[in-house]
């Protein structure tokens, strides 16, 4: 994640620990925190729900009802309003600062977006989209990554239409985060078992090694192909094929952690018919080839 030239040109360093640079528009604020020396038990909280995303370096997060965990670049966490964070900075120094973004969004703005989602993107189980009220820690997918990168640019840019641009991006950010959270619930089977989408995602997970087609899945769900596609996109932010591939790559990554497993065996076991297609999808999801991914476990 890259900070803009405007940020570095205009920000001031007033503290070596959690130096804050803030940008504010109606209903939202972006804060960039920089730490240039090691520190422990630094306390921080916000009045509104916040998306915290690591940009550089490493933090150790201590949150209510959670075990301490390392927080690295490429990861984000959603925190409710007034959630107290206790943070350690074990590696920060002047040449290796820790930088983190905190995007605060007014609850009224979030409720407005949730109302639109409930009107235009109904869930398969008829439950309503609601604000995440617990700590949701996740890896940024490509869509969320580019939205955050764009928001960094927009907040630091002095543009007369900044307010409009930021509001549009925040709407997309919230939708994608809620879909990512919903996807995690389906993957962990923590949703209503009465949902047809739950039935289909569970069927995919249980039959991942088989040849799965949208036509077959739509028949099992008693839905048209277009309705099945729409349900997946609205609720999970993925097409049925993308969900299938993600589940297959998740299984492949687990199998490849065994150095005795051969790649040519793994891809067929995970339901891929083509080695080249498996390599392409694996690299897209994991950013490395299957062979490179497996080799990382030979070194331990």
Sketch out the chain's domains with CATH numbers: 5-187 (2.60.120.280), 196-295 (1.10.10.60)
Q: What is the pLDDT of residues 145-193, one digit of tens each?
A: 999 999 999 999 989 999 999 999 999 999 999 999 988 888 776 676 6
The two three-digit tokens of residue 153, written as one number = 């640019």
How many residues are there in the chain? 300
Three-state secondary structure call for residue 205: helix
- Answer whether 114's CB lies under 8 Å from 131's CB: yes
The contacts of residue 22 (CB under 8 Å, 6+ apart) are 29, 30, 31, 32
Give, for all 300 residues of the chain, the pLDDT tens digit: 788 888 998 899 999 999 999 999 999 999 999 999 999 999 999 999 999 999 999 999 999 878 999 999 999 999 999 999 999 999 999 999 999 999 999 999 999 999 999 999 988 878 889 887 678 899 998 899 999 999 999 999 989 999 999 999 999 999 999 999 988 888 776 676 678 888 899 999 999 998 899 999 999 999 999 999 999 999 999 999 999 999 999 999 999 888 888 888 899 899 998 899 999 999 888 888 998 888 876 554
The residue ranges of DSSP E strands in 141-205, in sequence order, are none
Rounded Cα–Cα distance for residues 166 and 33 (Å): 20
CB-CB neighbours of 107 under 10 Å: 15
Q: What is the pLDDT of residues 38-50, one digit of tens each?
A: 999 999 999 999 9
Q: Which residue has 């209510």 as its token pair?
A: 64
């Amino acid at each position: 994640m890259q900070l803009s030239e405007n940020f570095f040109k205009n920000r001031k360093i007033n503290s070596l620990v959690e130096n804050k640079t803030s940008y504010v528009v109606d209903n939202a604020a972006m804060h960039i925190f920089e730490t240039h020396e090691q520190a422990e038990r630094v306390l921080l909280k916000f009045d509104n729900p916040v998306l915290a995303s690591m940009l550089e370096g490493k933090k150790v997060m201590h949150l209510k009802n959670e075990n301490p965990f390392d927080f690295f670049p490429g990861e984000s966490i959603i925190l409710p309003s007034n959630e107290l964070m206790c943070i350690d900075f074990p590696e920060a120094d002047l040449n290796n600062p820790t930088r983190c973004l905190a995007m605060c969004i007014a609850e009224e703005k979030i409720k407005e977006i949730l109302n639109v989602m409930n009107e235009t993107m109904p869930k398969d189980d008829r439950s309503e989209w609601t604000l995440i009220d617990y700590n949701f820690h996740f890896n940024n997918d490509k869509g969320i990554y580019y939205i955050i990168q764009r928001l960094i640019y927009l907040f630091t840019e002095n543009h007369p239409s900044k307010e409009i641009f930021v509001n549009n991006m925040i709407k997309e950010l919230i939708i994608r985060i809620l879909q990512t959270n919903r996807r995690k619930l389906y993957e962990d089977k923590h949703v209503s078992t009465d949902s047809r989408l739950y039935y289909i995602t569970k069927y995919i997970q249980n039959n991942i090694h088989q040849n799965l087609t949208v036509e077959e899945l739509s028949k099992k769900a008693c839905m048209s192909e277009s309705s099945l596609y729409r349900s997946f996109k609205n609720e999970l932010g993925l097409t049925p094929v993308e969900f299938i591939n993600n589940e297959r790559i998740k299984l492949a990554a687990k199998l490849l952690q065994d150095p005795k497993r051969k790649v040519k065996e793994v891809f067929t076991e995970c339901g891929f018919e083509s080695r080249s297609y498996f390599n392409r999808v694996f690299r897209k999801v994991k950013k490395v080839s299957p062979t490179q991914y497996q080799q990382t476990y030979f070194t331990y």
